[in-house]
Amino acid sequence: MITPLHMPRLVKILTNDSGEPAAVTRNGKQSQLAAILNSWRIDDEWWREEISRHYFQVELRSGPVMTIFHDLITSKWYEQRY
Amino acid sequence: MKVVCVHIDHFAAVAEIRECPELKSHPIVIGGFPNDRKPVFECSIEAVKWGIVPGIPLRQAHQLCPDAIFIQLDEDKYVRAFEDVLDVLEQFSPTVEADGLGRAFLDGSGLEGLFASDETLARRISSDVSQQICIEPRIGIASNKFSAAVAATLASANKPHIVTKGKERKFLASLPANLLPISEDTKRRLDLLGLRIMSQIALLPLDALANQFGDEGVLAHRLANGIDERPLIPRSKPAILEQELSCESPLESVDTVLAAIDRLLDKMIPTLKNRNQVCGQIRLCLHLDGTSPWYDSINLKEPTDSKREITSLIKHRLEASHFSAGVTEIQLGLTQLGGEIAKQSSLLTRDRVRQDAQLRRAARQLQARLGKNPLKKVVQVDPGSRIPERRSGLADFNP
């Protein structure tokens, strides 16, 4: 049996007026974003269970860089190791 | 040729007594403890009086003399002590041959101009060895090795035995045949034939002895007639790179001793590298304040010129040892010097094979401890996928 690696994990994101992430809540602690370093979209597998994600590589004010995406089908936010 | 034989009976025991003079009046047995299943390596003259001889089991030695002092075997110590004797002999002649522990030959030819007589030469050698090494040898002088060796066994510490040139056969004639350097089996057969003294063997036809005993018969015949043409073979000194350091005040901790050794290695390693050599053995002598020196030699699994490796081995050895006093002087030697040895790695597979073996072992141990094998391996599922979780996964690992 093979267990997939780098599965997405739900994360709480606070967005700004334009729908872009502005703060991340992890372990009950909210961290403001310092910058959005990159963003891209993945739209795939429309022929079976469609995937449509908007990815953001963001830098937190405390320093770490993380990758999050907005699932455009379920409207949920996830953190994912890339 | 003039051959001087220097003979020291029971050398290992003598070396022990030299190190610890209070042992002198006690029977000493060297080889291990009474319960060890080992033979006696050597014993002192006091122990011989109780019937103990080298080769008998230690238990038997204990039964013969329960009050004997049993000492663990330290062959390195005896070799070092005998090398000290050889060093003294080399002050007289450059041709010195060691014949086992406790017997050495030196070429005395041409020393007539320095010493008025053979007896003066013998007494001078005896006194120099006695003064410098604190060991009293017995000296025999003759025109060949065998006669000189026999003469030395007949000499006493105060009176050397000198065999005049041309009188060897007469000197040997009445002596027992078991002094001949031949096998025990040949000695036994000679005894069965009633050939018990040298003259009996010397008078036999050479052909008869050759037919019965082969090469040993020929050798016995020649030696019994006082003929020994075996040359002296000078000892080959082992190549050694040495440095020493005296300390103004005794070094009390292992760290300070290691720091001093580090300084010595700073001088030695560049020399070793410049010669493109590696060393196979480390010899360390620490002179301790007020007590006898501490010796150790470390044999390396693979010859090296790496200061880090050498320091690490010395550190390990020092940390495992206990010193009763501070170190006042350090002598460090690198021996068994040789050319660098190239290491040929196996093509491609060697490391992988070793890693696989280690993993298999680890998996077995985990299985035994946890009841299941928790090891997983990362496998590529769809490495070109745009979706991260589709690219790779964890699979069971059964090495």
**Phi, psi of A48, deg, nearest 5:** -130, -110
- A33 to chain B nearest CA, in Å? 23
B378 to chain A, minimum CA–CA distance in Å? 8
The chain A residues in contact with chain B (CB within 8 A) are 1-8, 42, 44-45, 51, 80-82
Find the CB nearest A82 among B379, B388, B393: B388
Residue with tokens 């501490």: B294
By Cβ distance, the residue of B379, B386, B388 closest to A2 is B379
DSSP helix/strand/coil, B211: helix
Say if residues B10 and B44 touch (Cβ distance below 8 Å): yes
| pLDDT class of A67 with cuts at 50, 70, 90 | very high
- Asked if A2 lies within 8 A of B376 by C-beta distance, the reply is no
Return d(Cα B327, Cα B277) in angstroms, integer: 30
Å between A1 CA and nearest CA of chain B: 6
Smallest Cα–Cα separation from B243: which of B214, B263, B221? B263
**What Cα–Cα distance (Å) separates residue B171 from each residue in B82, B161, B187, B222, B228?**
29, 11, 20, 14, 14
Residues of chain B contacting A3 with CB distance shorter than 8 Å: 376, 393-395
CA distance B380 to chain A (A): 10
Shortest Cα distance, chain B CAs vs residue A71, angstroms = 13
- In degrees, rounded to 5, the angle at the alpha carbon of residue B137 between the alpha carbons of residues B136 and B139 is 140
DSSP state of B113: G
In degrees, to the nearest 5, what angle opens at C-alpha B272 toward C-alphas B305 and B315?
45
pLDDT tens digit string along A8-61?
999 999 999 888 999 998 778 888 999 999 999 999 888 888 899 999 999 998
Residues from chain B that touch A1, judged by Cβ atoms under 8 A, are 395-396
The pair phi, psi for residue B52, each rounded to 5°, is -85, 135
Residues of B in contact with A51 (CB under 8 A): 387
Contact at 8 Å (CB) between B169 and B226? yes
ipTM of the modeled complex: 0.87
Q: Print the SS3 string covering A3-38.
A: EECCCCEECEEEECCCCCEEEEEECCEEEEEEEEEE
pLDDT in tens, chain B (399 residues): 899 999 999 999 999 998 888 888 899 999 999 988 899 999 999 999 999 999 999 999 999 999 999 999 988 889 888 988 999 999 999 899 999 899 999 999 888 888 889 999 999 999 999 888 888 899 999 999 999 999 999 998 889 999 999 999 999 999 999 999 999 999 999 999 999 999 999 999 999 999 989 999 999 999 999 999 889 988 877 788 899 998 888 888 888 999 999 999 999 999 888 888 899 999 999 998 888 888 888 998 888 999 999 999 999 999 888 888 889 999 999 998 888 766 666 665 566 777 788 888 888 888 888 888 888 889 888 888 888 888 899 998 877
Which of A1, A3, A5 to mutate to probe the B interface, most B CBs <10 Å? Answer: A5
User: Which of B379, B387, B396 has its CB closest to that of A51?
Assistant: B387
pLDDT at B216: 92
Question: Chain A closest CA to B375's CA: distance in Å?
Answer: 13
Please give the Cα distance from B17 to B24 (Å, whole number). 6
* Nearest-CB residue to B393 (from A2, A80, A82): A2
Residues of A whose CB is below 8 A from B386:
42, 44
CB pairs under 8 A between A and B: 38
pTM of the model: 0.57
Could you tell me the two tokens for A19? 């729908």
Answer whether A2 sits within 8 Å of B391, measured CB to CB.
no
Residue to test with chain B: of A1, A2, A7, most B Cβ within 10 A: A2
Q: Could you tell me which residues come within 8 angstroms of residue B146 by beta carbon, excluding any fewer than 6 positions away?
A: B181, B223, B228, B230
Q: What is the pLDDT of residues B176-206, one digit of tens each?
A: 999 999 999 999 999 999 999 999 999 999 9
Amino acid at A36: I
Which residues in B lie closer than 8 A to residue A82 (C-beta atoms)? 388
Three-class DSSP labels, B366-396: HHHHHCCCCCEEEEECCCCCCCHHHHEEEEE
Give, to the nearest 10 degrees, the angle between helix B307-319 and helix B254-274: 150
**pLDDT of amino acid B18:** 87
Q: How many CA atoms lie within 13 A of B61 on its CB side?
A: 32
Cross-chain residue pair A44–B387, CB shorter than 8 Å: yes
B22-61 burial, b for 16+ CB within 10 Å, e for fewer? ebeeebbbbbbebeeeeebbbbbebbeebebebebebeeb
Give the model's pLDDT for residue B349.
58
Q: How far is CA B393 from CA A55, A80, B55, B124, in A?
A: 21, 15, 69, 87
Greatest C-alpha distance within chain A:
44
* Closest partner CB to A3 (pick from B387, B391, B394): B394
What is the C-alpha to C-alpha distance for residues A16 and B28, in angstroms, rounded to an integer?
A: 95
CB contact under 8 A, A5 and B387: no
- Whether residues B389 and A8 touch (CB distance < 8 A) is answered with yes
Mind telling me how many Å the CA of B370 is from chain A's nearest CA? 20
Query: CA nearest A82 in B: which residue?
Result: B388
User: What gap in Å lies between CA B8 and CA B21, rounded to an integer?
Assistant: 17
Across the strands, what pairs with B284? Answer: B296, B332
Distance from the Cα of A2 to chain B's closest Cα (Å) equals 5
- The single residue listed with the structure tokens 């065998």 is B146
Please answer yes or no on whether B392 and A5 come within 8 Å at the CB atom.
Answer: yes
Nearest C-alpha in A relative to B378: A5
